[in-house]
Amino acid sequence: MFTLEIDSDLRLALIERSFAKQYLEIVSNQQEYLSQWLAWPPHAKTEDFFLRFVRQSLLDYAEGKSMTCVIIYQEKLVGNISFNTINHRLKTAEIGYWLSQEHQGKGIITRAVSKFIDIAFTDLDLEKIQISAGVDNLPSRKVCERLGMKLEGIISNSENLNGRIIDHAVYGLLRKTPPLKGDEEA
């Protein structure tokens, strides 16, 4: 299993079939909570749903289009983080994530997103990271702000969350490039 250790409590693992049952368990128990900001939980009723998700995620990863990882906190699967899209031509990626309710407020997502930002800028040589969060999803917006991301704008009527139309706050972070020779004093 491909894993990235963030610290002694937290690691990320590339998605694989063996995680489908654990995904189903979390989503079945927390469907109402997760559905506040995610459109797919009401449709995730079987292990096969997650097996299809894993299969597609691995195909997209192999093609360099995305990267999906499980979040493992204290040896337990607690959520998901991904580069939902990777655009190599524009050198950008969009990060998405979700975390089980009982693990909120522990800095897990902030640490995981920070690791993904590092991967994007260091390993993938990207120039920009973007996160879209529901305007009223204050915890997600605070993650972006803690990590130094800038609010680039509000997109109205951006998503239909199972009949509820919401606006998105779009945050971006550009890779800091070292100054060119001679520009240090400018």
Answer yes or no: is pLDDT of 76 > 50: yes
Answer yes or no: is pLDDT of 37 > 60: yes
Return the bridge partners of 9, or none. none
For residue 80, the tally of other CB atoms under 10 A from its CB is 23
Please write the tens of the pLDDT for every residue from 84-143: 999 999 999 999 999 999 999 999 999 999 999 999 999 999 999 999 999 999 999 999
Domain positions in the chain are 3-174
pLDDT band at residue 186, thresholds of 50, 70 and 90? very low
138-146 and 108-118 helices, crossing angle to 10°: 50
The pLDDT assigned to 2 comes to: 83
Please, which contacts does 56-59 make with residues 24 or more away whose CB atoms are closer than 8 Å?
A: 57/15, 57/82, 58/15, 58/16
The beta-strand segments (E) located in the chain are: 3-5, 10-14, 67-73, 76-87, 92-99, 128-134, 150-161, 164-174
The pLDDT assigned to 157 comes to: 96
| In contact, 147 and 112? CB cutoff 8 Å | no
Please write the tens of the pLDDT for every residue from 163-172: 999 999 999 9
Mean pLDDT of the chain: 93
Coil, strand, or helix at residue 39?
Answer: coil
Which residues neighbour 185 within 8 Å (Cβ) at sequence distance 6 or greater? none
| In contact, 103 and 73? CB cutoff 8 Å | yes
The pLDDT assigned to 24 comes to: 95
**CATH architecture assignment, domain 3-174:** 3-Layer(aba) Sandwich (3.40)
| In contact, 83 and 116? CB cutoff 8 Å | yes
pTM of this prediction? 0.91
The pLDDT assigned to 177 comes to: 64
